[in-house]
């Protein structure tokens, strides 16, 4: 009988502890309220939502890059770049993080920064044919046809029948960046 009471008390403590931790974790996560944006200036509303998004992102690199993108393209490049730097200075930075940053820089019209980021992608993962096509397409759109065609050739050798490779490369000759 004593053993079952001890197990019961232990189980009750475990359940109460788990509920307490779950409540604490939920309390740290932001929750949307119309008061965050209603009647606020646009920048104040954006700050409230993007700060909440950054909290929800936790350690997610793509999520943090998305928040940084909003700031960067929205006019606060310093805040956006600080978020990007926190991702790229991490020990866990991956080639896909650099690819996302390359896209942001291309959207911002900062081709030199975009190239630097794509070069890092290919250093980390030199066989990434999708990154090569995207980089090549952006190079073509940015008037660097020799670089574009070298990247297209390398990517198409690896994966010559990939539909999206053909579309991305072809569209770039019309001035259409990859989508």
102-132 tens-digit pLDDT:
999 999 999 999 999 999 999 999 999 999 9
pLDDT of residue 36: 83
In a domain, residue 4? The reply is no
pLDDT of residue 24: 45
Task: Note the pTM of the prediction, 2 decimals.
Answer: 0.81
Both 129 and 52 in one domain: the answer is no
CA dihedral defined by 104, 107, 113, 119, rounded to 10 degrees?
A: 70
Both 73 and 119 in one domain: the answer is no
In total, the chain counts a number of residues equal to 179
Both 113 and 45 in one domain: the answer is no
pLDDT of residue 2: 63
Range of the domain at 64: 36-92
Contact 124, 95 (CB under 8 A): yes
- Give the span between the Cα atoms of 128 and 154, in whole angstroms: 10
Both 98 and 169 in one domain: the answer is yes
How many C-beta atoms surround the C-beta of residue 139 within 10 A?
24
- Give the span between the Cα atoms of 81 and 97, in whole angstroms: 13
pLDDT of residue 150: 98
- Give the span between the Cα atoms of 127 and 97, in whole angstroms: 16
Q: Of 164, 167, 170, which is closest to residue 149 (Cα–Cα)?
A: 170
pLDDT of residue 6: 54
pLDDT of residue 10: 52
Divide the 179 residues of the chain into consecutive groups of 10 and give the mean pLDDT of each group.
55 52 57 88 94 95 97 97 97 96 97 97 96 98 97 97 98 95
Half-sphere exposure (CA, 13 Å, Cβ side) for 159? Answer: 14
């Amino acid at each position: 009988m004593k053993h079952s009471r001890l197990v019961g008390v232990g189980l009750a403590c475990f359940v109460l502890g788990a509920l307490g931790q779950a409540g604490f974790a939920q309390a740290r996560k932001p929750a949307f309220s119309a008061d965050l944006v209603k009647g606020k200036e646009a920048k104040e509303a954006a700050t409230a939502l993007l700060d909440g998004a950054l909290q929800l992102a936790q350690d997610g690199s793509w999520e943090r890059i998305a928040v940084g993108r909003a700031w960067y393209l929205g006019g606060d490049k310093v805040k956006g770049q600080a978020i990007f730097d926190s991702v790229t200075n991490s020990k866990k930075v991956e080639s896909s993080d650099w690819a996302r940053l390359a896209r942001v820089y291309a959207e911002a019209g900062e081709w030199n920064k975009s190239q630097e980021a794509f070069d890092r992608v290919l250093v980390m993962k030199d066989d990434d044919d999708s990154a090569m096509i995207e980089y090549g397409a952006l190079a073509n759109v940015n008037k660097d046809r020799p670089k574009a065609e070298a990247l297209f050739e390398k990517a198409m050798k690896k994966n010559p029948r990939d539909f999206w490779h053909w579309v991305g490369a072809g569209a770039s000759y019309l001035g259409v960046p990859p989508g």
